[in-house]
Amino acid sequence: MSTIDTGARRRTTDPRPVITDLIDGDTILSIAGDAWISLVGEDEVLVPLPGPLPGDILSSWVDVVGPWTGSVVLTTARATAEELSRALLRESAPEVLDDEDVADAFGEIANVVGGSVKAALPGPSALSLPQVGNAPLVRNPGDVCRVDVVWRGEPLTISVQGALPPLPVPSPTRENEVSL
Amino acid sequence: MRALVIDDSRAMRRIVTGILTDLGYEVRDAGHGGEGLEVLNEGWAPDLATIDWNMPVMDGLQFVSAVRSNPAWRRMTMMMVTSESEHTQIVRALAAGAHEYMIKPFTADAFRDKLALLGLLPQEVAL
């Protein structure tokens, strides 16, 4: 009796790709830079510099579900998120921004950056609606690509992070042992 | 000329509306496809609809399909304006009846170029 090799056995044992196999920091920086020019303003630049985030921070993110599953997360000070929202809304920004205005604008930036990151990853993948609040936890520190930037002197991070915990390290089997 | 801007992000609606208003368009907006259909059902007939893909309630693809199923709205040009940039998604949108596809992020110049390609620049701007 012959057996058809569907590849299923190989696929279930293959390690999942981690994000650093698929995209690098320079690509994320370039994607974010394009989004900033389009949404925030032509003269708005992101400078790749690490800077400590303050205590009062806000995150916006979208989830990507596909061959790689995780989130594209923007995090910055709440005040910087408000300034970013005001820059995005330009003259149509209300005098006082409420939480909904900030969630909408900051979320849309995550949506645009996340869409471009998704396009750089193997597909097909699905993109969620943007969310704003406390960033999803990092489940696997080995599946994170993070870029630290400064916008108008304020620190901001863009983290592309896997949603799945690390795979267990395979234990050696008798099959793999080599007799000396 | 008239345009209907459909996007669940108020910020993005403001950006697209700003570009179109600067070009001389009369613009109305909607927060999802269902609201967009309500505008059309009022009898307000736009020359152009710009449509986000991922929206709650009724997404962009459902809106395009609904418009295409009604012969009364056949003259309206539909342009997807979305962060969905996978080739398969673009093909799906065009197959459903969208005429053009604009990937976010975009610049005002790129938006204007798309409208020129579609023959939808108001005459005084095109000259």
Could you state, in order of their start, the residue ranges of all structural domains in chain A?
Answer: 19-162
- Cα–Cα distances (Å) from A64 to A8, A119, A141, B2, B11, in that order, read 24, 10, 17, 35, 22
The CATH superfamily holding the domain A19-162 is CheC-like (3.40.1550.10)
A-B contacts (CB, under 8 Å): 68
Q: Is the pLDDT of residue A5 over 50?
A: no
Distance from CA of A104 to the nearest CA of B (A): 6
Instruction: Sort strands A57-65 and A126-127 into parallel, antiparallel or unpaired.
Output: antiparallel
The reported pTM is: 0.85
Q: Which of A62, A86, A108, A128 to mutate to test the interface with B (most CBs of B within 10 A)?
A: A108
Residue A29 structure tokens: 């920086």
pLDDT tens string B53-78 = 999 999 999 999 999 999 999 999 99
Range of the domain at B54: 2-126
The CATH number of the domain holding residue B6 is: 3.40.50.2300
Higher pLDDT, A62 or A177: A62
- Give the residue from A68, A107, A69, A114 showing the smallest Cα distance to A85: A107
- Give the residue from B61, B58, B93, B89 showing the smallest Cα distance to A119: B89
Instruction: Identify the contact set of chain B against chain A, taking CB-CB distances under 8 A.
Output: 8-12, 14-15, 18, 54-56, 82-86, 88, 103-107
Q: Is the pLDDT of residue A3 over 50?
A: no
pLDDT category at A90 given cuts 50, 70, 90 is confident
Residue A26 structure tokens: 């320079």
The DSSP annotation for B23-78 comes to TT-EEEEESSHHHHHHHHHTT---SEEEE-SS-SSS-HHHHHHHHHT-GGGTT-EE
Length of chain B: 127
pLDDT tens string B10-19 = 999 998 999 9
The DSSP annotation for B77-107 comes to EEEEEES---HHHHHHHHHHT--EEEESS--
Q: Which of A101, A112, A124 sits opposite B86 (nearest CB)?
A: A124
Mean pLDDT score, B35-49:
97
ipTM of the complex: 0.85
The DSSP annotation for A75-92 comes to EEEHHHHHHHHHHHHGGG
Q: Which of B12, B56, B84 sits opposite A129 (nearest CB)?
A: B56
Residues of A in contact with B55 (CB under 8 A): 129
pLDDT tens string A40-87 = 988 999 999 998 998 899 999 999 999 999 999 999 999 999 999 999
- Amino acid A169 reads V
- Looking at the structure of chain B, the number of domains it has is 1
Q: What is the pLDDT of residue A164?
A: 86
Say whether residue A85 is in contact with chain B using an 8 A CB cutoff: yes
pLDDT category at A18 given cuts 50, 70, 90 is very high
Say whether residue A94 is in contact with chain B using an 8 A CB cutoff: no
Bridge partner list, A47: A150
Q: Which of A20-34, A38-52, A149-163, B51-65 is the least confident region?
A: A38-52
Q: ∠A111-A39-B26 over CA atoms, to 5°?
A: 105
Mean pLDDT score, A110-114:
96
Rounded Cα–Cα distance for residues A66 and A89 (Å) = 32
**Residue A180: partners with Cβ closer than 8 Å, 6 or more residues away:** none
Distance from CA of A140 to the nearest CA of B (A): 26
Provide the percentage of residues in chain A whose pLDDT is more than 90. Answer: 68
Q: What is the pLDDT of residue A45?
A: 93
